[in-house]
Chains A and B, each alone.
Chain A
Amino acid sequence: MAQNTRTVPAGTPTNVTQNHTKGGIGESTLRPDGTLKVTGEFAYSSDMWHEDMLWGQTLRSTVAHAEIVSIDISEAVAMSGVYAVLTYDDLPAEVKNYGLEIQDTPVLAHGKVRHHGEPVALIAADHPETARRAAAKIRIEYKELPVVTDEASALAPDAPLIHEGRDDHHSGHVPHPNIVHRQPIIRGNVAAARERADVIVEGEYVFGMQDQAFLGPESGLAVPAEDGGVDLYVATQWLHSDLKQIAPVLGLPEEKVRMTLSGVGGAFGGREDISMQIHACLLALRTGKPVKIVYNRFESFFGHVHRHPAKLHYEHGATKDGKLTHLKARIVLDGGAYASASPAVVGNASSLGAGPYVVDDVEIEAVALYTNNPPCGAMRGFGAVQACFAYEAQMDKLAAKLGMDPVEFRQINAMEQGTLMPTGQVVDSPAPVAELLRRVKARPLPPERQWETAGEGADVRALPGGLSNTTHGEGVVRGVGYAVGIKNVGFSEGFDDYSTARVVLQVINGEAVAMVHTAMAEVGQGGVTVHAQIARTELGVTQVTIHPADTQVGSAGSTSASRQTYMTGGAVKNTCEAVREKVLEIGRRKNGSYHPAWATAELLLEGGKVVTDGGEVLANLADILEGEEPIDLELEFRHRATVPFDLVTGQGDGHVQYTFAAHRAVVEVDTELGLVKVIELATAQDVGKALNMLSVVGQIQGGTTQGLGVAVMEEIIVDPKTAKVRNPSFTDYLIPTILDTPTIPVDVLELADPNAPYGLRGLGEAPTLSSTPAVLAAIRNATGLELNKTPVRPEALTGTL
């Protein structure tokens, strides 16, 4: 097959994030990478290209649970254009597994496969089609084993153990080896509180398996280096976490694995785990040639973890004046074949399982199971999403039973600053839950029967079913629903969560210029924009360059848990403050004798000058820096410490910060065909401080739409008998199009958190929580049906289930 004939290499990561827009914090500064992204010049990980590079391909298991009897690679190896075929036997180091918290995931399957799509062999070839054909020539003989697919089959007395001989730090306290982690939260006396309840409602809720479905497929380029190491250009959420998992299985010290972030086409949690990183490095080191791996969409569905599907059983009580008495909940999360982030998801689901409500008597238990289903881990909202779906349905049930307005009922019970969480932690910053609900409720409703046009009948485009012309309005009913949620920000439960920033300030061509270097993964959220805004604000400069993210600087932690503006933004702020002190030291040395204010006044850097807090200009920044070595500092930033939840009671100050969002959904349902059209999804969220309102609103609308998706269409369907994935494609796994997505008006509150940099509140995840239950509530309101499962499929609305 033909070699590449191309002579022009694609862009390299060095040109992905230069900054040429202006503006400090609070301004809607435009993205610095916007121009490159609209011209097609921005280099995503799948655009990486190297002369003489090979293409890597993964061969994945076709069965969910089996012993591998034999692997025959002879035909594949013999093919023209094939440079390497690797199996488990070729792994170079003692360490053969990786994982975020528990190292239970094999780089390549050894002995057995535990889920459909598990990587078994790797191929490097001169053309992607050669690699695919070679993969098809590998013969694997499987001896199938019974599959574990749900709680009953996982915990049955004779259940096959997914991981025999577990010895991780959770295995000692779980009641069954097929339970990854269990976290109870017990506070007060539920039995006594139940006696006080005038009404009690119970519900069983089922949350389907959602996929992150980021558009940029898993991909990257590994280039072998002369020193025996490897350079890896890849899309990820956390370079240093990848590095810690990659280096040991390659048998290399970390300094010989140099990672650079390449353009990331969305993440949403799906890039927290390793996908092709190790595979590409193995092939590059084996062949001595650069190797590029790009998943196609089918493989992408197998290449990353999904959102945990969940079964949630909830019981709430309330008095007739609308006060919650107690909560008893059991949350069962399906973690699939490998642990990934399951332990932390359990911590979130349990500790946030009561929602943003005051309820003193609580018994919650959350568990994550090992099964032979696809592995599940991080996705936007991380455990809080599943719980919110259940507790919000419960709030509506209670309000209905008490004959109260659902918003008023929630407001009566809404937490506020000072409320105790079920973990005993005090909510010590603003918690405007009632106000967020008030705001979405106060917004005027969109007009009824918007599809009716003057004289021309119905505009079918505005109706459920749209241009499919399935209805002209007969049988269409409208409903309105509300929901609100609580999410933690940052890594919790005692995790040493920190971020590093390096800032260089120097004079270039007579002007003071700052360079910000972090390992933060820019996945689309706009970190590169706000880092430059922070540097401009703190250093009073106009020109800020954002250095490409790589492992040559300290860890920035993960771009997840709504933490990156808080953490790496905080690190940039703190480092800039230290740089400012250095500037003032030099200024005092050079100019201190000319003006007493150098010694006495509070000094600021503004507009390229050193000024007093009274506004008097003391010097030009450029003059101070001229002739000096560049000021070059690298500092770490930590948020306040948290502690692990007690394993028996779940008590402990486990979270850093809480964030809140509310939604009102307006839907129209064609009751004849069971089609839903969401008309509007009004949102209100407290962001503490909006560093960039344009980005803030974009994040809220995007998160809202992902919640809408899971409400009405998104679900990875796993066959319950075989544990095989049925719909790994964009033909069969549906995400909302622009026709499925309503207008999303956004109302932003800015109630500062006194403990956070600039008072900001992490914001990326909260809007994903409440939009799903709000849409469900609206559909229930329209149809009168109970609807306890996501997504709501037509057959659930037409009684043809």
Chain B
Amino acid sequence: MRVNFTVNGRPQEADDVWEGESLLYVLRERMGLPGSKNACEQGECGSCTVRLDGVPVCSCLVAAGQVEGREVVTVEGLADFAKERAEHGGCASGACGTSLDEAKKWQARPGQDSQTGEAGTDPAALSPIQQAFIDAGAVQCGFCTPGLLIAADELLERQSDPSDQDIREALSGNLCRCTGYEKILDAVRLAAARQGEAV
């Protein structure tokens, strides 16, 4: 079957999709967007979390056909999504997404210069929660990171100053095996604090 949907603001068309394929498979193997991770593929670990019409879901549990005509935001589009939100006010429903015009400007960032090691990526291009994860040391192997970022970003969208219990509750569907979670808590606190300063 053919599935038409929007990914990170860009209209996408996937052809010859088998009826049993998950959104996760289509994103990773057909769209070339491997940022959503395949750690358990049964909705237990949260590594594949994406926003579907603004709602965080495990993309491994969503049949590809279910996303027909809908909007998906993955970790690859998180920075643009957060930027759009910052520029056009908060999005309490979580369903705002990135506008089509804005998203059409999206392109893969150039790779880093392998000679000098300098990043081709402008750090300012990261969303606040992405930057906070780096700064707080919340990334080790990083496999859980994309899913945690989507979940944490959604938490901060609806709750600008979450308590530790709020953070724990919001991220309880995302397993991390490396960090012991302390630095993930630090990262969310840091992003919230920076968000607060910016207001």
A residues with a Cβ closer than 8 A to B are: 1-11, 14-15, 18-20, 28, 30-35, 37-44, 46-47, 49, 127-129, 212-217, 263-268, 294, 296-297, 459, 461-462, 467, 508-509, 511, 513, 523-526, 543-546, 694-695, 697-698, 701-706, 729-731, 735-739, 741, 743-744
- Restricting to B6-32, which residues have a CB under 8 Å from any CB of A? 14-18, 20-21, 25, 28-32
Are B74 and A40 touching (Cβ within 8 A)?
yes
A and B contact pairs by CB, cutoff 8 A, 21 listed: A6-B30, A14-B114, A15-B111, A20-B119, A28-B137, A39-B35, A40-B76, A129-B20, A212-B177, A215-B39, A217-B38, A524-B178, A698-B178, A698-B180, A729-B44, A730-B175, A737-B173, A737-B175, A738-B168, A738-B174, A739-B169
A34 touches B134 (CB 8 A): yes
Picked from B21, B29, B135, B141, the residue with its CB within 8 Å of the CB of A6 is B29
Contact B169 A467 (CB under 8 A): yes
Residue among B119, B171, B173 with max Cβ neighbours from chain A (10 Å): B119
Closest residue to B142 on the A side, CB-wise? A37
B140 touches A524 (CB 8 A): yes
Partner of B76, one of A9, A41, A214: A41
Report Cα–Cα, A511/B117, bound state, in Å. 12
B60-95 vs A, CB cutoff 8 Å, 1 = contact: the mask equals 000000000000001110110000000000000000
CB of A738, distance to nearest CB on chain B (Å): 4
Contact residue among A11, A15, A264 (Cβ-Cβ distance under 8 Å from B141): A264
Q: Assess the B137–A40 pair: CB atoms within 8 A.
A: no
The yes or no answer to B145 lying at the interface (CB within 8 A) is yes
B interface majority secondary structure: loop
| Residues 23-52 of chain B, each 1 if its beta carbon lies under 8 Å from chain A, else 0 | 001001111111111111110110100000
Q: How many residues of B contact A (CB 8 A)?
A: 79
The residue from B14, B33, B139 contacting A38, defined by CB atoms under 8 A apart: B139
Q: Is the CB of B139 within 8 A of A31?
A: yes
- Whose C-beta in chain A lies nearest to the C-beta of B132? A38
Whether the Cβ atoms of A44 and B37 lie closer than 8 Å is: yes
CA distance A730 to B109 in the complex (A): 34
Measured CB to CB, the nearest residue on chain A to B74 is A40
Beta-carbon contact of B45 and A730 below 8 Å: yes
Query: In terms of DSSP, what is the predominant structure of the interface of chain A?
Result: loop
**With A and B bound together, what is the CA distance between A266 and B37 in angstroms?**
13
Residue numbers in B under 8 Å from A743 (CB-CB)? 182
Contact (Cβ within 8 A) A705 B18: no
Closest to A731 in B: B44
**B149 contacts A38, C-beta separation under 8 Å:** yes
Q: Which residue of A lies closest to B173 (CB)?
A: A737
A212, B135: Cα distance in complex, Å: 27
Which residues of chain B are within 8 angstroms of A30 by Cβ–Cβ distance?
Answer: 134-135, 137
B165/A49 in contact, CB under 8 A: no
Minimum CB–CB distance from A575 to chain B (whole Å) comes to: 18
- Shortest beta-carbon distance from B35 to chain A in Å: 2
Return the contact of B119 from the options A8, A35, A524 (Cβ within 8 A).
Answer: A35
Chain B contacts of A706 at CB under 8 A?
Answer: 177
**Residue contact A19 to B134, C-beta cutoff 8 Å:** no
Interface residue? B118 (CB, 8 A):
yes
Beta-carbon nearest neighbor of B129 in chain A: A38
* Most chain A beta-carbon contacts within 10 A, residue among B39, B133, B146: B39
